[in-house]
Amino acid sequence: MTTIIDGKAFSANLRGELARRVGILKQNHSVTPGLAVVLVGEDPASQVYVRSKGKQTAEAGMKSVEHKLDAATSQEEVLKLIEALNNDPSIHGILVQLPLPKHIHEESVINSINIDKDVDGFHLSNVGRLSIGADGIVPCTPLGSIMMLKDHLGSLSGLKAIVLGRSNIVGKPMAALLLQESCTVTIAHSRTKDLAAECREADIVVAAVGRPEMVKGDWIKPGATVIDVGINRIQNTDGSTKLVGDVEFSSVSLVAGAITPVPGGVGPMTIACLLHNTLQQACRLNGVDVPE
């Protein structure tokens, strides 16, 4: 029987646990974790994400601040806002929603965030820390994926893992985390010669390519654990739309030992991990331990 890894339940559990710890932090240290989200422009998908982030931040008992800026806002103005948030002691996490409008240089904006408030883990210093296995902030989607893998498999040591996709947000940090867990890691991408054959070797498959239902059942080693990071909206024959992952669920779920569904798998874990990172940094910036 294939296990369906329930990210919705896992994330609800994690958020409940975080809310409990936030309550203790407030009571014992009078610290309320604060998360600021910066959205530039009107990208509809980004607006949906930002709304969910704000709602779940407040539900966890944290302070949620949203800065919605016009698409024509200059880079200088965005940098000025980040500087103000860097200097605001009530803010412990700053997230700049990506993508930014073309006239704004993403890297310059991300690297202007105080590294201890970079709850996305995208700042070069946090990327560097992750690559050498030092303490730092870990990007939310890979962190959520690792949490689910460890919850399902226990130790990952010695397992063969393949990451499909080499993005800075998911593929590369995911590979670094799997390596930290002592997996033997392959990173595959659009130029990989025989993707199916590479996949069939793996005990763990993480798909993060943004191609709807690309991974098929005959690519999977029987019993492997499959983490589907993809969220793709496709059209049904009747014109309605639905969300699918990068994995063809119908065929892969017949072969895999465990699989995350889309929706309801990795997706809900991303915001839960953002709140996790915000609580960690609120404690660190205030010099207190994270409540037990």
Binding site for ligand GUN (CB under 6 A): 95-98, 120, 140-141, 169
CA distance 266 to 232: 13
Per the annotation, the verdict on 53 as an active-site residue is yes
For ligand GUN, the closer of residues 220 and 266 by Cβ is 266
CA distance 227 to 148: 9
Per the annotation, the verdict on 281 as an active-site residue is no
Give me the least distance between CB of 53 and ligand GUN, in Å please: 9
Q: What's the CA angle centered on 268, arms 265 and 273, to 5 degrees? A: 115
Which residues sit opposite 4 in a β-bridge? Answer: 259
For ligand GUN, the closer of residues 167 and 184 by Cβ is 167
With beta carbons less than 8 A apart as the criterion, state whether 165 and 207 touch: yes
CA distance 19 to 277: 13
For ligand GUN, the closer of residues 113 and 205 by Cβ is 113
Residue corresponding to tokens 């893992």: 161
Give me the least distance between CB of 115 and ligand GUN, in Å please: 15
Per-residue buried b or exposed e for 22-32, using 16+ beta carbons within 10 Å of the residue's own CB: beebeeeeebe
Of the residues 56, 97, 280, 281, only one is catalytic, namely: 97
For ligand GUN, the closer of residues 169 and 176 by Cβ is 169
CA distance 83 to 113: 8
Give me the least distance between CB of 97 and ligand GUN, in Å please: 5
Per the annotation, the verdict on 97 as an active-site residue is yes
CA distance 76 to 125: 22
Give me the least distance between CB of 140 and ligand GUN, in Å please: 6
Give me the least distance between CB of 55 and ligand GUN, in Å please: 16
Residue closest to ligand GUN, measured at CB: 98
For ligand GUN, the closer of residues 185 and 269 by Cβ is 269
DSSP 196-235: HHHHHT-SEEEE-S--TT-B-GGGS-TT-EEEE---EEEE
Of the residues 53, 116, 172, 280, only one is catalytic, namely: 53
Of the residues 120, 203, 228, 246, only one is catalytic, namely: 120
What the block records as the tokens of 51 is 């709304």
For ligand GUN, the closer of residues 170 and 195 by Cβ is 170
Q: How far is CA 154 from CA 146, 147, 149, 151, in A?
A: 11, 10, 8, 6
Give me the least distance between CB of 39 and ligand GUN, in Å please: 9
CB atoms within 10 A of CB 103: 11
Is the peptide bond prior to 263 cis by the omega test (within 30 degrees of 0)? yes
Catalytic residues: 53, 97, 120
